[in-house]
A and B are shown apart, each in its own frame.
Chain A
Amino acid sequence: MSSATRPATVRERVAESDRSVGRLLLVAAGALFWGWLAVSWVNRWLGGVLVPVGQPLVPPAAVEATLAGVPGLAAYAADAAFVVEMTPDLARGTWLTVVITGVSLGLGFVIAVPLAVTRVYGRFSSWVSLAYTELLRGTPLLAQLFVLYYGLNLASYVPGAVSGVFARDVVWVAILGFTLNGAAYQAEYIRGALESVEEGQITAGRAIGLSKLETIYHVVLPQGLRYAIPSWTNEFVYLIKYSSLAGFITVPELYYRADQIAAETFRYTLIFLVTGAMYLALVLTASKLMVRVEDRVAIPGLGAGSEE
């Protein structure tokens, strides 16, 4: 941190304040984005208590009138009003993107951990998990989604228990696809981290009478999963972006909504700029969140989290 031995130079102080201004803007943008998403969701969930369902949270006309009065921004007033008008659709799409990503990532993790463990410590099962990982990482994700949706027509087999949770059952097909595919990538990252846990600790676990599985559970996984966080975050970020492929099997997530709006209004540039900004907000949130998690669970005395 700042040294006590000499006063900070002007340049350092400017850099410092630049950083904090940047941080502040980032936090403000994040708060606006997630606030908008949450309020939109609550409004829809409660059947339109704030504004009628399908209407923007603020009237586009008001936005246009306000901006028209601001010198320099007047030229963008109409565009801004257009974007505001599209926000209800974008909010629904973004929400679905968040849910698909979150659920697939969580379910994928549950599969990835045993995959990685068998890969590192299994004998026959190691080959099974290698085959699985290579098959899913070696073929295009979109092709996998097409096989599940068009080839196997899985949307018609969604079990009654979960059918109707989403407006369209095809969302489950997308979640299944991303879960199976993401599990393969997550397993690779986790495998690498498990391998970095010192062999000697496994020996020590066995020497006090823990079984191999107990040693993996109590000694290897708690460390390996921590070490996996930075690379696992990549998969999180990729999945946010890859989830847009669900649009190709008619899941109305963010990309699908944006594409529809653009096709109807021909405002491709504007819509995809805004959509891109939303993906960016999701990605930044994910990576900041994971940095926090990493710091939170860092082992004292070890690794990046412990640097003063």
Chain B
Amino acid sequence: MSDDDFLRVTDVSKWYGEEQVLHDVSFEMDRGDVTVLIGPSGSGKSTMLRCVNRLAEAQEGSILLDGEEVLSPDLDVDELRREVGMVFQGFNLFAHLTAVGNVALGPRRVLGLSETEARERAEDQLERVGLGEQFDSYPAELSGGQQQRVGIARALAMEPKLMLFDEPTSALDPELIGEVLEVMHGLVDEGMTMLVVTHEMSFARAVADEVVFLDDGRVVERGPPEQLFERPEEERTGRFLERIASHD
């Protein structure tokens, strides 16, 4: 709770029409931290993530990123999104572009790199996620695991200071989850700051500095993974953990 938190979310509330989907959500992260958000379907995990890069607009509260107020109306939203990468459950790759084309689009059109520079950067990022052989494949020609790795490379190519992951492995066949988690482990080792929605408990256990349990738009409980997973203080947390454990 120091003044120099890298990301500080304070009392964020959000409504869709009449329905309040986030209730005074607060948590904070240091640079290089990994925070995992868990919670039942509809609890507001995706919405919370989207508020951080302003794909969704929070109506109340404060989100400070590196000292800057994300929710300020004067903020340059495109500038913010350049610095915050996002990875989606459904990959959301650009279907008409090759792997390189997908990754190079941001550097080329947003960062203004030349065609060659953008391509080189894209190739570097694809190699980083283990896709050195798939530069010119189209999304429809790649497996789900490969597509998601392109999705990660696309976000990394913008050289973000924060990465948001929204259930990056939950659309994948079980045998393809490992390759994506491996890439994410690599990012953790490199010191990337990551806010991750996932139900991969082994991943959370291994790398999370803090786990935040959301239910019904509220932070029910938060803490280091060993504490939250082994000795949850709230009954709801325990019940939720049991439920997902029985699904594994």
Which size bracket describes the interface of A in this complex?
A: 20 to 34
- Residue from A207, A222, A301 within 8 A of B86 (CB atoms): A207
- Residue from A198, A223, A302 within 8 A of B92 (CB atoms): A198
Residues of A within 8 A of B154 (CB): 204, 208
Tell yes or no: B236 within 8 A of A by CB.
no
Residues of A within 8 A of B44 (CB): none
Is B94 touching A209 in the complex (CB atoms < 8 A)? no
Residues of B within 8 A of A210 (CB): 78, 105-106, 109-110
Taking the closest CB of chain B, its distance from the CB of A303, in whole angstroms, is 9
Which listed segment binds A: B61-69, B133-141, B209-217?
A: B133-141
Cα separation A208 to B91 with both chains bound (whole Å): 13
A201-B94, A218-B105 known; A211 vs B78 contact (CB < 8 Å): yes
**Closest residue on chain B to residue A219 by CB atoms:** B94
Is A204 touching B94 in the complex (CB atoms < 8 A)? yes
Main SS at interface, chain A: helix
Residues of B within 8 A of A302 (CB): 95, 138, 140
Is A203 touching B88 in the complex (CB atoms < 8 A)? yes
Taking the closest CB of chain A, its distance from the CB of B39, in whole angstroms, is 21
Tell yes or no: B158 within 8 A of A by CB.
yes
Residues of B within 8 A of A300 (CB): 138, 140-141
Tell yes or no: A299 within 8 A of B by CB.
yes
Tell yes or no: A18 within 8 A of B by CB.
no
Is A209 touching B82 in the complex (CB atoms < 8 A)? yes
What 1/0 flags go to B88-99 for Cβ under 8 Å of A?
101111111000
**Closest residue on chain A to residue B141 by CB atoms:** A301
Residues of B within 8 A of A200 (CB): 88, 90-92
Tell yes or no: B125 within 8 A of A by CB.
no
What 1/0 flags go to A279-308 for Cβ under 8 Å of B?
000000000000000000001111000100
What 1/0 flags go to A200-226 for Cβ under 8 Å of B?
110111111111001000110011001
Tell yes or no: B31 within 8 A of A by CB.
no
A209-B78, A299-B96 known; A204 vs B88 contact (CB < 8 Å): yes
Residues of A within 8 A of B151 (CB): 204
Is B141 touching A208 in the complex (CB atoms < 8 A)? no
Is B110 touching A209 in the complex (CB atoms < 8 A)? yes
What 1/0 flags go to B72-106 for Cβ under 8 Å of A?
00000011011001101011111110000000011
A200-B88, A223-B95, A223-B96 known; A208 vs B158 contact (CB < 8 Å): yes
Cα separation A214 to B110 with both chains bound (whole Å): 9
Is A226 touching B139 in the complex (CB atoms < 8 A)? no
Cα separation A219 to B93 with both chains bound (whole Å): 10
Taking the closest CB of chain A, its distance from the CB of B165, in whole angstroms, is 12
**Closest residue on chain A to residue B111 by CB atoms:** A209
Residues of B within 8 A of A306 (CB): 140
Taking the closest CB of chain A, its distance from the CB of B142, in whole angstroms, is 8
Is B109 touching A204 in the complex (CB atoms < 8 A)? no
Residues of B within 8 A of A219 (CB): 94, 105
Is A301 touching B140 in the complex (CB atoms < 8 A)? yes
**Closest residue on chain B to residue A299 by CB atoms:** B96
The 9 A-B residue pairs with the shortest CB-CB distance in the complex, in nearest-first order: A301-B140, A200-B92, A208-B106, A204-B92, A301-B141, A209-B81, A209-B110, A207-B86, A209-B82
B binding-site residues for A, Cβ under 8 Å: 53, 55, 78-79, 81-82, 85-86, 88, 90-96, 105-106, 109-110, 138-141, 151, 154-155, 158
Excluding A200-B88, A206-B81, A210-B106, 4 further A-B contacts by CB distance (< 8 Å) are A209-B79, A209-B82, A300-B138, A300-B141
11 A-B residue pairs with CB within 8 Å: A206-B81, A208-B154, A210-B110, A218-B94, A218-B105, A223-B95, A223-B96, A299-B138, A300-B138, A301-B141, A302-B138
A binding-site residues for B, Cβ under 8 Å: 198, 200-201, 203-211, 214, 218-219, 222-223, 226, 299-302, 306
